[in-house]
C-alpha cells in the first residue's frame, strides 16, 4: 500500500520530535570518542529535515575532536551542508578544513574552503590561513604557495600566522627563490620581526642551504625560544656540519634553555657523524638526567649514536632497558651490529625478536640481507630470501637489488644473473651496477664490459657507481686499454671524477706493472689523494717490489692514517723482500710504540646451521685436532702432486725449517681441510677470509681442487677465487 503525502508529513513530524528530544540529551551526556547511536540518530535527523538549533556548534566541536577517520568526518560534514550551518560559523568551517587535511583528503578541504568563500562571507585572512596551514602541514607545498599567491591577488592581507606556513612549504621543497620572496613580503608587511616568523625564516634558509642568512637572522633575534635554537642546531646537523651544531647546543645550554626531544635527536645525530664516544656518553647522560631517554625516538637516536661511535655494548644497554620498542629500535640495533662487523650478534638479535610483537619491514630485510652478504654465507642468504618471499613483505626494486648483491657476494653469481634477467621491466641503474660489480668481483671482466654496453644500448644512464664498478672489473681482469677508455668516457656522461675512480685507475695500472703511469695519475689529481689512492699504489709496489715508490706511498699513508696497521705491514713486507732488515725493524718498533698489532688472519666456513671460524695456527676450534691431522695429510698429498711451498709467504723472522710448517696451518687451508672432512663431495666448499689470500695458499688450493675433484670458492678482501680442476678463475691475477 502506497503512503500519502500527508502520511509522510506526519511521520516526519513525529520523528523530528523524537530526535530533537534525544539531541538535547546527547549534548549534555556526549563524551565518548566515537559516534554513539543517539549521535547517529541526531545526524540523520539533521540531514533529513535541515533543522538544528544554532547551539549545535559546540556539539559538532565535540564530534570533530573525537573524529579519527575520513568516513566519520564526512558523516559529520554531511548534515552541515544541508543545514547551511557552516554559513553561520566560520570557526566550524575552519575546524573541518583542518580535519580533512589531517585525515589525508586535501581535495575535500579545498572544496569546503572554496564553498565558504563563494557563499557570502566577508573575505578575511582567518579562513585563508586555515587552508594554507592545512596544505603546508600535509606536505602540499606547491598548493600552499599557489594559495598564498591567490590570497595576495585577492587583496586579503597575510599576517604573522600566514608566513610561518608559507615558509615551511618553501623549506620542504628547498624553494629558496620563493622563500626569499615570502621573506620580502613579510618585511614589507612588518611581520619579519615576529618570533614565529623569524623561527620559520631560520628554518627555511637553513634547509635551503643558506646558512649565512639563517645564522644572521638567528643572531639578530631579540628573543630566541627553544624552537629557534633547535631549528638552527638541526639545520647544521642535517647539513653534515656536526661541529657547528654542537657549538650551538653548548651556547643554548648557557642561555639556560633545556633541550627537548627534537633537540636531543639532532644532537645525537651530530655526534654520530663525528664518531666521538666521549661526547656520546655526555649526551646519553643528559638525556637520562632530564628524563628524555624514556621517549622512544630519543632512545632510538641514542642507540644509533653509540653504534656509530663503535660502542655496541652501550647501544645494547639502552635497547635492553627500553620499556617500548618499535621496528625502528630493532633496525637501529641490527644496523649498528652490521656497521661494526658484528654479524653474528645481528643474527642472534634477529632470531630473538622473530617471535616478538615487533613486525619486520623492508628496512629490516635490507639490513639482514647485507649481513648475509658480509658473512658470505650462501646457505644463510638463501634461507633469508625464502623468509622474505613467504612473508607479507613487499620486495621492491631496492630489496631485489640487495638480494642480487647478496648472492653475488656469496659466490653464487648464476643466481644473481637469473634474478637480473627476470626483472627486465623493473630494473633501475642500481640493478645494472650490482651485476657489473658482481662480474668484476668474480673476475669476469669481459662480461662486465658487455653488460656495461647493453646498459647504454637500453638507454640506462651510468652514474658514478657504475664507473667505479666497471673500472674495478677491468682492474681485476687486467683489461688496461678498456679501463682507460671507460675512464676517459666519464666526462661524456657528465660524471664527476671522484677519489674512488682515481683509486681504481691506480690499482688497475699498478697491478699490471705500470707503476710510473699510476703515479702520474696521482700527481695530476685536482685534489689531494686519499688513503684509498695511496693504498692502491702501495699494494702495487708490494706486488712488483718497487721500494722507492712504496716509500712515497707509505709516507703519505702514515700521515693520513697513522693508526692503520695494514699499511705498516705492507711497507715492512716490501723492505723484507729487498732484504732491508734495518728498515723492517724500525717499522716494527713504530707498531710497538703505537700499540698496533697485525690483524690476525681469519677464515669462516658454513657447515649445517653453524659457522666455523679458523685462525692461522688455531687451537681453539673444537675440531682443531682433526683439522690439523687433515692439513698435515694434505701437505703430503700436495708435495706428491708437485706443489712447492712458497716460503716467502711465511713470517720473515722465522727459521727456514719452520716456515713450511707454519704454512700448513694458514687459516684458509684449515677451513678448506674442515670442508673436505665435513661437506659432502658433490657440494661446493665456500670460505670467506678477512685478508688477502697469500700466494702459497692460492697455489695449494688449485692443487687441492684437482686432487679431490672439489669446487672451492674463496672470498678474500679483494675478490672471489673459484678453484676447480686445478685452475683459479682469477688466472693468477689478483
pLDDT at 20 over 60: no
Residue 93: what pLDDT? 84
Question: How far is Cα 188 from Cα 422, in angstroms, rounded to an integer?
Answer: 60
pLDDT at 652 over 80: no
Torsion of CA 202, 205, 209, 212, to 10 degrees: -70
Q: Which one is predicted more confidently, 8 or 288?
A: 288
pLDDT at 409 over 50: yes
User: What's the number of CA atoms in the CB half-sphere (13 Å) around residue 704?
Assistant: 33
Average pLDDT over residues 639-660: 72
Q: How far apart, in Å, are the Cα atoms of 150 and each of 128, 136, 463?
A: 10, 15, 41
H runs (alpha helix) in 595-678: 624-641, 656-663, 667-678
pLDDT at 10 over 60: no
Question: How far is Cα 143 from Cα 153, in angstroms, rounded to an integer?
Answer: 15
Residue 207: what pLDDT? 87
What DSSP element (H or E) covers 543? helix 531-544
Q: Picking from 80-94, 332-346, 377-391, 718-732, which range would have the lowest pLDDT averaged per residue?
A: 80-94
Q: Which one is predicted more confidently, 189 or 36?
A: 189
pLDDT at 45 over 60: no
Contact 339, 370 (CB under 8 A): no
Residue 651: what pLDDT? 58
What DSSP element (H or E) covers 715? strand 712-715
Instruction: Please provide the average confidence, as pLDDT, over all residues in the chain.
Output: 86
Residue 242, sorted as left (phi over 0), alpha (psi -120 to 50) or beta, turns out to be: alpha
Task: Report helix, strand or coil for 295.
Answer: coil
Length of the chain: 734
pLDDT at 26 over 50: no
Which cell goes with 680?
659432502
pLDDT at 299 over 60: yes
Beta pairing class for 712-715 and 610-615: unpaired
**3 state SS for 578-616:** CCCHHHHHHHHHHHHHHCCCCCCCEEEEEECCEEEEEEC
| CB atoms inside a 10 Å sphere around CB 268 | 25
Which cell goes with 619?
687451537
Residue 653: what pLDDT? 55
Side-by-side strand order, sheet with 610-615: 610-615, 602-607, 685-689, 712-715, 720-724, 727-728
Question: How far is Cα 208 from Cα 211, in angstroms, rounded to an integer?
Answer: 8
Tell me the pLDDT tens digit for each residue of 441-483: 999 999 999 999 999 999 999 999 999 999 999 999 999 999 9
Q: How far apart, in Å, are the Cα atoms of 687 and each of 164, 531, 544, 631, 671?
A: 59, 28, 27, 16, 7
Residue 104 main-chain phi, psi, to 5 deg: 85, 30
Query: pLDDT grade, residue 677 (50/70/90)?
Result: very high
Please give the full DSSP string across 54-96, using - where no structure is assigned.
Answer: TTHHHHHHHHHHH--SHHHHHHHHHHHHHHTGGGT-HHHHHHH
Task: Report helix, strand or coil for 412.
Answer: coil
Contacts of 398 (CB under 8 A, 6+ apart): 362, 366, 430
Tell me the pLDDT tens digit for each residue of 226-279: 888 998 898 899 888 999 999 999 999 998 889 999 999 999 999 999 999 999
Question: How far is Cα 261 from Cα 301, in angstroms, rounded to an integer?
Answer: 10
Average pLDDT over residues 634-641: 94
Q: Where are the beta strands (DSSP E) in 211-350?
A: none
Question: How far is Cα 604 from Cα 378, in angstroms, rounded to an integer?
Answer: 12
Which cell goes with 223?
628573543
Q: How far apart, in Å, are the Cα atoms of 418 and each of 347, 384, 423?
A: 27, 18, 9
For the chain, report the end-to-end CA distance as a whole number of angstroms: 96
Query: pLDDT grade, residue 656 (50/70/90)?
Result: low
Contact 696, 723 (CB under 8 A): no
Which has the closest alpha carbon to 210: 247, 176, 165, 167? 176
Residue 178: what pLDDT? 96
pLDDT at 51 over 70: no
Contact 541, 515 (CB under 8 A): yes
pLDDT at 607 over 80: yes
Q: What are the residues facing 602 on neighbouring strands?
A: 615
Contact 458, 425 (CB under 8 A): no
What DSSP element (H or E) covers 723? strand 720-724
Measure CA 42 to chain center: 52
Query: pLDDT grade, residue 135 (50/70/90)?
Result: very high
Residue 104, sorted as left (phi over 0), alpha (psi -120 to 50) or beta, turns out to be: left
Contact 630, 676 (CB under 8 A): yes
Question: How far is Cα 172 from Cα 175, in angstroms, rounded to an integer?
Answer: 8
H runs (alpha helix) in 391-478: 397-409, 413-421, 429-441, 445-457, 464-477
Which has the closest alpha carbon to 504: 525, 479, 527, 475? 475
DSSP-derived secondary structure letter, 687: E
Residue 328 main-chain phi, psi, to 5 deg: -65, -40
Which cell goes with 507?
690499482
Cell 620498542 identifies what position?
A: 325
Q: Picking from 183-187, 199-203, 286-290, 523-527, which range would have the lowest pLDDT averaged per residue?
A: 199-203
Measure CA 459 to chain center: 28
Amino acid at each position: 500500500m502506497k503512503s500519502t503525502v500527508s502520511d509522510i508529513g506526519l511521520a516526519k513530524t513525529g520523528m523530528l520530535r523524537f530526535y530533537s528530544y534525544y539531541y538535547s540529551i546527547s549534548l549534555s551526556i556526549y563524551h565518548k570518542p566515537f559516534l554513539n547511536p543517539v549521535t547517529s540518530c541526531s545526524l540523520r535527523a539533521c540531514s533529513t529535515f535541515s533543522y538544528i538549533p544554532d547551539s549545535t556548534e559546540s556539539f559538532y566541536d565535540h564530534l570533530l575532536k573525537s573524529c579519527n577517520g575520513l568516513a566519520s568526518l564526512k558523516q559529520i560534514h554531511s548534515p552541515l551542508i544541508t543545514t547551511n550551518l557552516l554559513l553561520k560559523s566560520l570557526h566550524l568551517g575552519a575546524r573541518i578544513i583542518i580535519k580533512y587535511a589531517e585525515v589525508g583528503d586535501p581535495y575535500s578541504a579545498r572544496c569546503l574552503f572554496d564553498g565558504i568563500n563563494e557563499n557570502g562571507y566577508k573575505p578575511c585572512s582567518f579562513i585563508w590561513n586555515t587552508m594554507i596551514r592545512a596544505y603546508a602541514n600535509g606536505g602540499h607545498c606547491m598548493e600552499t604557495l599557489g594559495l598564498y599567491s591567490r590570497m595576495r591577488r585577492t587583496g586579503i592581507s597575510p599576517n604573522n600566522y600566514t608566513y610561518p606556513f608559507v615558509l615551511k612549504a618553501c623549506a620542504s621543497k628547498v624553494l629558496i627563490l620563493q622563500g626569499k620572496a615570502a621573506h620580502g613580503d613579510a618585511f614589507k608587511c612588518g611581520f619579519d620581526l615576529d618570533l614565529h616568523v623569524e623561527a620559520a625564516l631560520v628554518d627555511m634558509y637553513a634547509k635551503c642551504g643558506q646558512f649565512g642568512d639563517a645564522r644572521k637572522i638567528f643572531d639578530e633575534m631579540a628573543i630566541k625560544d627553544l624552537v629557534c635554537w633547535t631549528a638552527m642546531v638541526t639545520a647544521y646537523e642535517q647539513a653534515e656540519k656536526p661541529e657547528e651544531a654542537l657549538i650551538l647546543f653548548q651556547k643554548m645550554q648557557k642561555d639556560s634553555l633545556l633541550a627537548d626531544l627534537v633537540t636531543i635527536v639532532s644532537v645525537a645525530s651530530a655526534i654520530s657523524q663525528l664518531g666521538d664516544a666521549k661526547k656520546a656518553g655526555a649526551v646519553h647522560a643528559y638525556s637520562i638526567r632530564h628524563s628524555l631517554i624514556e621517549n622512544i625516538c630519543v632512545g632510538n637516536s641514542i642507540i644509533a649514536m653509540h653504534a656509530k661511535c663503535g660502542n655496541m655494548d652501550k647501544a645494547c644497554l639502552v635497547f635492553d632497558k627500553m620499556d617500548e620498542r618499535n621496528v625502528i629500535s630493532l633496525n637501529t640495533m641490527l644496523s649498528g651490529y652490521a656497521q661494526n662487523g658484528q654479524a653474528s650478534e645481528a643474527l642472534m638479535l634477529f632470531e630473538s625478536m622473530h617471535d616478538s610483537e615487533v613486525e619486520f619491514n623492508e628496512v629490516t630485510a635490507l639490513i639482514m640481507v647485507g649481513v648475509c652478504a658480509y658473512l658470505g654465507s650462501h646457505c644463510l642468504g638463501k634461507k633469508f630470501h625464502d623468509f622474505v618471499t613467504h612473508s607479507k613483505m613487499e620486495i621492491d626494486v631496492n630489496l631485489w637489488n640487495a638480494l642480487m648483491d647478496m648472492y653475488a657476494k656469496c659466490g653464487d653469481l648464476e643466481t644473481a644473473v637469473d634474478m637480473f634477467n627476470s626483472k627486465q621491466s623493473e630494473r633501475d641503474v642500481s640493478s645494472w651496477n650490482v651485476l657489473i660489480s658482481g662480474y668484476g668481483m668474480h673476475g669476469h671482466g669481459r662480461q662486465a664490459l658487455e653488460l656495461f654496453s647493453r646498459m647504454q644500448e637500453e638507454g640506462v644512464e651510468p652514474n658514478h657507481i657504475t664507473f667505479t664498478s666497471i673500472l674495478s672489473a677491468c682492474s681485476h681482469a687486467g683489461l688496461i686499454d678498456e679501463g682507460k677508455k671507460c675512464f676517459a668516457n666519464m666526462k661524456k656522461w657528465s660524471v664527476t671524477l671522484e677519489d674512488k675512480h682515481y683509486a681504481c685507475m691506480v690499482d688497475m695500472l699498478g697491478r699490471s706493472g705500470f707503476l710510473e703511469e699510476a703515479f702520474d695519475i696521482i700527481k695530476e689529481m685536482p685534489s689531494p689523494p686519499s688513503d684509498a689512492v695511496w693504498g692502491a699504489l702501495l699494494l702495487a709496489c708490494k706486488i712488483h717490489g718497487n721500494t722507492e715508490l712504496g716509500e712515497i706511498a707509505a709516507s703519505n699513508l702514515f700521515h693520513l692514517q697513522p693508526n692503520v696497521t695494514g699499511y705498516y705491514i705492507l711497507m715492512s713486507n716490501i723492505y723484507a723482500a729487498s732484504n732491508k732488515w734495518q728498515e723492517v725493524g724500525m717499522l716494527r718498533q713504530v707498531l710497538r710504540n703505537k700499540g698496533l698489532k697485525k690483524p690476525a688472519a681469519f677464515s669462516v666456513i658454513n657447515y649445517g646451521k653453524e659457522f666455523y671460524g679458523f685462525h692461522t695456527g688455531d687451537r681453539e676450534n673444537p675440531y682443531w685436532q682433526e683439522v690439523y691431522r687433515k692439513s698435515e695429510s694434505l701437505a703430503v698429498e700436495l708435495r706428491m702432486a708437485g706443489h712447492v711451498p712458497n716460503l716467502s709467504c711465511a713470517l720473515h723472522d722465522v727459521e727456514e725449517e719452520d716456515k713450511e710448517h707454519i704454512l700448513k696451518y694458514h687459516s684458509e687451508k684449515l677451513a678448506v681441510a674442515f670442508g673436505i672432512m665435513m661437506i659432502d663431495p658433490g657440494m661446493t666448499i665456500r670460505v670467506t677470509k678477512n685478508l688477502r689470500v697469500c700466494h702459497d695458499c692460492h697455489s695449494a688450493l688449485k692443487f687441492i681442487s684437482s686432487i679431490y675433484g672439489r669446487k672451492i670458492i674463496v672470498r678474500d678482501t679483494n675478490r672471489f677465487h673459484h678453484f676447480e680442476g686445478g685452475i683459479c678463475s682469477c688466472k693468477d691475477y689478483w
